[in-house]
């Protein structure tokens, strides 16, 4: 099916807000157009964004910012991204970050450590939707985790359910 970008983004921000408040991190939301629709399973797409948002909050120190964004990436694709103001990911680690069970040595700021499966599963979900996932990061300058999913075509928009 297809779902509105704004619906997924707002749901994610709403779900992450209590954790952001608890960790004293500002959660921001940016988008070109919340009415854009993507061809995706809303639950899976939300799971991916929540995972990226949760990770971003985990690594962002108090006073930092996490930004959830959606825009048109390339013709036919919407790019979702989650940017943090955390410590960044060393270049050597970036190629392994989506591997199963991989954890960046000595990282989590808050002591909340996962099983190292989240990014691997998220990448699998994105690829199953026909998209790609990646990271842009510089140590000391934060990280942006991004993924693309196909934009819904005109006919899908007319026949789709509102995103609930």
Residue 118 has pLDDT above 60, yes or no: yes
Name the least confident of 56-65, 128-137, 150-159.
150-159
pLDDT (0 to 100) of residue 30: 85
pLDDT (0 to 100) of residue 103: 67
Residue 39 has pLDDT above 60, yes or no: yes
The mean predicted confidence, pLDDT, of the chain is 85
User: Could you tell me the sign of the dihedral formed by the alpha carbons of 8, 9, 10, 13, in that order?
Assistant: positive
Using CA atoms, how far apart are residues 64 and 47, in angstroms rounded to an integer?
23
Q: What is the pTM of this model?
A: 0.85
Beta carbons of 6 and 14 less than 8 angstroms apart: no
Q: Which residue has the tokens 């270049």?
A: 91
Residue 27 has pLDDT above 60, yes or no: yes
pLDDT (0 to 100) of residue 148: 96
Angstrom CA distances, 72 to 25, 37, 47, 49, 149, stand at 27, 11, 20, 16, 10
Question: Three-state DSSP class for 156?
Answer: helix
Beta carbons of 4 and 34 less than 8 angstroms apart: yes
Which residues, listed in sequence order, are joined to residue 143 by a DSSP beta bridge? 137
pLDDT (0 to 100) of residue 156: 53
pLDDT (0 to 100) of residue 104: 63
pLDDT (0 to 100) of residue 122: 93
Beta carbons of 90 and 161 less than 8 angstroms apart: no
φ, ψ for residue 57 (rounded to 5)?
A: -65, -35
pLDDT (0 to 100) of residue 117: 62
pLDDT (0 to 100) of residue 94: 87
Angstrom CA distances, 54 to 20, 108, 109, stand at 9, 12, 12
pLDDT (0 to 100) of residue 97: 86
Name the least confident of 26-35, 71-80, 143-152.
26-35
């Amino acid at each position: 099916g297809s779902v509105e970008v704004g619906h997924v983004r707002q749901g994610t921000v709403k779900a992450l807000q209590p954790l952001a408040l608890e960790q004293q991190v500002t959660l921001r939301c940016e988008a070109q157009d919340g009415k854009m629709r993507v061809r995706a399973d809303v639950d899976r797409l939300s799971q991916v964004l929540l995972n990226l948002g949760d990770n971003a909050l985990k690594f962002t120190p108090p006073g930092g910012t996490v930004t959830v964004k959606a825009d048109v990436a390339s013709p036919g694709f919407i790019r979702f991204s989650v940017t943090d103001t955390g410590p960044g990911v060393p270049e050597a680690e970036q190629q392994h970050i989506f591997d199963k069970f991989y954890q960046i040595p000595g990282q989590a700021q808050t002591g909340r450590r996962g099983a190292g499966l989240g990014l691997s599963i998220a990448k699998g979900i994105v690829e199953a939707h026909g998209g790609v996932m990646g990271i842009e990061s510089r140590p000391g300058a934060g990280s942006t985790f991004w993924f693309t999913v196909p934009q819904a075509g005109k006919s899908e928009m007319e026949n789709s359910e509102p995103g609930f």
